[in-house]
Structure 1
Amino acid sequence: MFSDADAAELYDLLNPWNPVLWPSDAFYDELVMAAGSVLDVGCGTGSMLHRAREHGHTGRLVGLDPDRAALARARRRTDIEWVEGGAADARWDAEFDLATMVSHAFQCLVTDDDLRASLAAIRSALREGGRFAFETRHPQARAWEDWNPSHASEVTDASGRALRVWHEVESVAGDVVTFTGTAAELDGSVLRVDRTRLRFLDVVRLDGFLAEAGLAVEARYGDWHRGPVTDTSREIITVARRK
């Protein structure tokens, strides 16, 4: 009743890429438009790269994601390269000026081994001096405490079906949060439940992984207006450079 393609469409409805409305999107849009070649790791449905091309980016744009249904939507635009795979599967060698992981995709790297392999692959894909931009939710903000049915969203999909979407936390084990995302009709009939695990690294542990991978922190922000990281920051926004 609710396919992977439906889920990919729903993601775009709930998370439209719009740098005019959202400071987070504007932050990345500026970086992407200034870079000659861009690798978007965890590109999802490709909205960020679609917009870059639509607004005049003439360089190489590549999106990488393991989700086939999301890539099927991304591939509606054929003047961008789309590759199926995870971050650790990247096999490019010094080909990009910029790599990105947007929309908290970095937090999907849950294990130490996956983090190390992914960061090594991303570093290898960057040219000397190339930059890697990404964000992760600051654990001090405990964002998962708001992931419950009382914060549900309602949306109407392309077929005219009204849906209610919410998240519920199953467990918090160390710095890893496991939660479900549910899509249901307004009468409560559940159409789909997806389970996700995210890792909430603090600044010290994050920077340890970056340094180990040969990536030096060039800039660090606590909000999308480039303010510093403070004891009330909800984000850890990082621009790292290949050493």
Structure 2
Amino acid sequence: MVDHSYADLSLAALYDSLHPWGPGDDFYLGLVMSAGSVLDVGCGTGRLLRGARAAGHDGRLLGLEPAAAMLVQARRAEPGVEWVLGDMRARRWEGHGFDLAVMTGHAFQELLGDEEVRATLTAVRNALGPAGRFVFETRNPTARAWETWTPDRVRRLADGDGRPVRVWHEVEGPPVGDRVTFTETYEGEAWAQPHVCRSTLRFLDLDALSGFLAGAGLEVVEQYGDWDRGPVTSGSPEIITVAGPR
């Protein structure tokens, strides 16, 4: 489940600038603050758990991240959180009894194979307490977000030394089934030539999500189409799922 775009230290250091805090972060922070113990699966730079600790959360916070470069950023910023390198399949989770598990930043879409999805969801189910909740989002496939990932939509930001960086995306051909492959290109003084990362994301629809959750002993409690908790429609940008043990 490693996002290879951020396996490099120089790219991981840019993540929070490229993805500034937004409505989705506020949504998840509210959930975290109301839970006694929280597991953040694919925690990235750890900003959600850092934000919770800064806001006064005094319970157990565990961030799990498979990309070592991202975890370096998390560990620099907040020592008061458990930071663990790996994914959900790397350890046994029975008995942890988390009140809440989250998977933010569309990290769920990096699970490409059926067995990887099943194994991850089963591990999450095992990590939850009897009344625990698993909350995650995936881009709604019917909204076809990938059609906007074009080279003309360039993001401009600065690296840690204040040097300008340009970032853009380009999709490699039409979707293959429910998978979309694209490149993310970084151009700046930190690299002798543009740094190109290739990634694939999986776009599961409502029925497929429900089927995988059920197979792992989870069921949908609520689903939203946007961060204001609107309904899921064909044009909704997100499928935000709140699931619990069956």
The alignment's TM-score, normalised by the length of structure 1, stands at 0.93
Deviating above 3 A after TM superposition, structure 1's stretches of 4 or more consecutive aligned residues are 188-191
**Bigger mean CA deviation after superposition, 229-238 or 87-96:** 87-96
The alignment's TM-score, normalised by the length of structure 2, stands at 0.92
Shift in Å at residue 99 of structure 1?
0.3
**Secondary structure of residue in 2 paired with 1:132:** strand
Structure-2 separation of matches of 1:184 and 1:90? 38
Within-5 A mapping of 1:71-150: 71-76=71-76, 77-95=78-96, 96-150=98-152
The percent identity for this pair of structures is: 55
Structure 2 stretches of 5 or more lacking a match?
Answer: 1-5
**Secondary structure of residue in 1 paired with 2:20:** coil
Residue 204 of structure 2 corresponds to residue 201 of structure 1: yes
| Closer/same/farther in 2, CA of residues 242 and 3 from structure 1, 3 Å limit | closer
Alignment partner, residue 186 of structure 2: 183
Structure-2 separation of matches of 1:134 and 1:112? 17
Alignment partner, residue 3 of structure 2: none
Give the AA of the match of 1:11: Y
Structure 1 stretches of 5 or more lacking a match?
Answer: none
| Closer/same/farther in 2, CA of residues 146 and 190 from structure 1, 3 Å limit | farther
**Secondary structure of residue in 2 paired with 1:151:** coil
**Secondary structure of residue in 2 paired with 1:29:** helix
Give the AA of the match of 1:181: E
Shift in Å at residue 189 of structure 1?
6.4
Alignment partner, residue 156 of structure 1: 158
| Closer/same/farther in 2, CA of residues 151 and 122 from structure 1, 3 Å limit | same
CA contact (8 A) 1:89 1:121 kept: no
Shift in Å at residue 89 of structure 1?
2.5
Structure-2 separation of matches of 1:68 and 1:87? 15
Structure-2 separation of matches of 1:195 and 1:102? 20
| Closer/same/farther in 2, CA of residues 178 and 3 from structure 1, 3 Å limit | closer
Give the AA of the match of 2:235: T
